[in-house]
Amino acid sequence: MTVRQSVTKAAFRRLARQASPLALVVAGTLSVAAVPAMAQNDTQASNANEGLPEIVITSRFRAENIQTTPIAITALTADQLQVRSIENVADLGLAVPNAFFRKNVSNYGPNGTIGLRGVNQNDFAYAFEPAVALYVDDMYYGTLAGADIDLLDLQRVEVLRGPQGTLFGKNSLGGAIRLITNKPAGDDTGRVQLTYGKYNRIDVKAFGDFALVEDKLFARVSGLEKKTDGYGAYLDYTCWQKLQGTPQNAGIGDGLGADGSAGGALDGQPDVVPVGSAADNSFSLPQSVDPAAGTGCKLGSYNGTKTVGGRVQLRYLASEALEINLSADYTNKDNDPTANTRLTPINNFIDNTFDNAVVFPKYGIHYANGNASWLSPSPYTNFEAPGDMLTGQYVDPQSRLESWDTSATADYKVTDNINFKAIGSYLRYHETFTSESDGTPFGLLGTSYRLKHEQYQFELQLTGTSFENKLEWALGGFLYHSNEVSYNNTYFDAYAFVGIIPNFIANDGFRDTNKSGFVHLVYHLTDRLSLNGGLRRTNEHKFNSFNHTNLAAAQKAFSYSKWDWSAGIDYQLTNDVFLYFSSGTGFRGAGFTPRIFTVGQLQSIPAEKLTNYEIGAKTDFFDHRLRVNVDGYYSDYSPRLLQIGGVTQCDSATSLNPTPYFLAGGTCPTGTDLAGSNGLPWFYYTSVPGKLKGAEAEVTAEPIDGLQINWTLGWNKYVNSIKDPAVTGYRDPSALLQPEWNMSGGVQYAFHVMGDDTITPRLDWFYQSHTTNGSATSPNVCPQNCVPSYNIFNGRITYNNVKGMWSLSFAVTNLFDKFYWQQLGSETTATGAPAAGRVGVPSAPRQWYIQVRKNF
């Protein structure tokens, strides 16, 4: 062992004793740099025909080997996505270090959480911006709503972790996701894939690629249709209580009749009547399903899906220098709502008051006041109903999305060293859904949404090399414009009854115009040492109009400008050891206060900014049989947007500049317009700085031909800059933004049978550590204030017939039927008391499917 190696290993041991994952990554990077002989010396050339294949990406607007690109990137090919049962954007979070992709509680409908490295966004409201930029080819997808895109006919997926402000612009604060489709090749190929599985799952996917004009004009058509029955249900409460032998819970046989039914005085309360009498049994909660029907009292399904979609692409090779690509996509989704589990009875002042004054006199039963008969019979069932039984209002429980987009790209080779690219795209979607989470057939926490989004984008890119290829450069301009409408009506009957929030109709409009220009440079000082850097200037103008019937009507507009920068250095230590250090910024666009209740609450909320510092190593060992990529990062997250709970407006509803009062539910102070009352609710936002640090690792190995192993690790930690619990914006260190740890692993081996045919069994494992759900300002203690950690496994076995160009697979997701929570309310309140009305979003149970694929 050399002195250099000894010193480096000693340093590694010292850092390891500090038990910091970030330190381990940094030390590991230095250790790799010090022991290049473990791979091969500088003069050894890799054999392209053996070991792990080279992965080519285009994240810096040019084709590059992922192993020599100084960005933390997860790249997955179409085959890798399929064998891991990754079928949409939401599934990607399982396989990406420090990703946090989750279903939300039903208040947010079908729109989930998408986040990377502790930078998350879960609210679909147009007043906010996404935290992670999503691109389909070169088209930016501008909203969180509708972003759970099916992965149809992709060449690969690239997930760039960390801010990408210079090349990808706004809303790449946590990173960027690029879905890259297959271009038409005109090679007369095609594929049909059929899937059948549990819950009557039926999928059909197909594509065809052919030439319209030989060597000139190619076309590719792809499509999918899939459906799955739901694995949850919302139940008829009265039917269920009869089925359980407790009809008195629904008012049948409880000895209560309608007010005045027994000749008593009309006092607004039920009368005592003979048990089992007609007056008794008729005074009950109405029933829609007969328990004798054998349906288990089911009114409708949770978690069923139905999707139809397709893509048409044209590729025109106008000349050796000019290539034009056109694409048109269509998607139509009709999905059941997401299951929510009622875990503890409803028991609070607002619901108890409404229960006693309205529901009990009308039906002789209680839904609140701690009545445990309304708890979910199973994690996948509850007693919701689509609408409001009290008013007779019906709402469509289905979530529906219809989306169209078109794009055009022209690539022109100006000279041997200069390329020009022009991009234009248009996207439009309509989404409707209803959010309900009270677990009753009454209108307590219900909202019906109709979202409309329209956007167009233009981008120009000029890339090239200069000074005998020592300088690689890219510059361009970007224009994005969107129009959005958010229409919704509410049924907050209990809140309206006690006078806190009246039911209202919202018809809000949003406009966003973003213009930016960027430049990015890579300068090769030597064949192995390079510098890189970039700048981007963004100008943005936003306009919001809020029109909330019975509450507020207001308009607001503002403009702002933003600079982003990046800088880095990388060194190719050996042919198979690449080291880099990078720094850069990203931002999430400023917005407006969502869900206002008065005109003065319509205020702009600041943009977020993140400055990131990162060190990494990308390595190949043993003739490219082992690939290990590691990175560690430290990020200054300032300003960071934060919603402050317990904020009240004590000024009059007409005040244009109200003062926020941090009363945590108390009454307005003397001297204010609403003194002595609870005031008006306020979703209040401010900026609070913090720090993020973390580490990531991705390992891929093929020790012998046919055996493939992969493993990923992510560690992420957020530290709030405010240390005094008495200061507004304080966040307790135990309150997590996302799970600190996530890991995944997979192993498969191809057994050769009957010549070149193979049978390949595969097992995948996914792990997530716990996250917290208690008050952010108080210590979060497990299990009371935690969503537990979980491990899940997927299994798959595939027979591949090479000569016949077909394959047959049998796969199981959640192989061991592990139950876990996607989202879960805290067991306790901020005061430590048991939480009433606690709900959770359950995970999917074990599911199996058979898949047949035929290539042509």
The tens digit of pLDDT for each residue in 348-389 reads 999 999 999 999 999 999 999 999 999 999 999 999 988 899
Residue 654 pLDDT level (bands cut at 50, 70, 90): confident
pLDDT at 788: 96
pLDDT for 22 beyond 80: no
Angle CA 351–353–358, to nearest 5 = 95
Looking at residue 538, its amino acid is T
pLDDT at 605: 85
Q: How many CB atoms lie within 10 A of CB 17?
A: 8
Domain map (residue ranges) of the chain: 3-34, 237-296+340-378, 641-687, 722-856
Distances (CA, A) of 805 to 16, 705, 761, 809, 810: 50, 21, 19, 14, 17
Question: Tokens 């049989």 belong to which residue?
Answer: 625
- How far apart are the C-alpha atoms of 546 and 597, rounded to whole Å? 10
Which residue spans within 142-174 are E strands per DSSP? 154-161
Q: How many CB atoms lie within 10 A of CB 126?
A: 26
| Widest Cα–Cα separation across the chain | 103
Instruction: Record the tokens describing residue 530, joined without a space.
Output: 């390079």
- How far apart are the C-alpha atoms of 250 and 246, rounded to whole Å? 8
138-147, 433-442, 494-503, 518-527: which has the highest mean pLDDT? 518-527
Instruction: List CB contacts of 652: < 8 A, sequence separation 6 or more.
Output: 673, 674
pTM of the entire structure?
Answer: 0.90
pLDDT at 104: 67
Angle CA 559–565–570, to nearest 5 = 165
Question: Tokens 């949003």 belong to which residue?
Answer: 510
Q: How many CB atoms lie within 10 A of CB 278?
A: 11
- How confident is the model over 402-450, as pLDDT tens digits? 999 999 999 999 999 999 999 999 999 999 999 888 899 999 988 999 9
Q: What is the mean pLDDT of the chain?
A: 90
pLDDT at 264: 67
pLDDT for 111 beyond 90: no
Distances (CA, A) of 777 to 409, 558, 640, 645, 785: 49, 32, 16, 10, 12
pLDDT for 259 beyond 80: yes
Instruction: List CB contacts of 566: < 8 A, sequence separation 6 or more.
Output: 165, 166, 520, 532, 533, 534, 582, 583, 584, 585
Residue 7 pLDDT level (bands cut at 50, 70, 90): very low
Instruction: List CB contacts of 647: < 8 A, sequence separation 6 or more.
Output: 660, 661, 662, 663, 682, 683, 684
- Which of 175, 74, 64 minimizes the C-alpha distance to 116? 175
- How far apart are the C-alpha atoms of 432 and 397, rounded to whole Å? 9
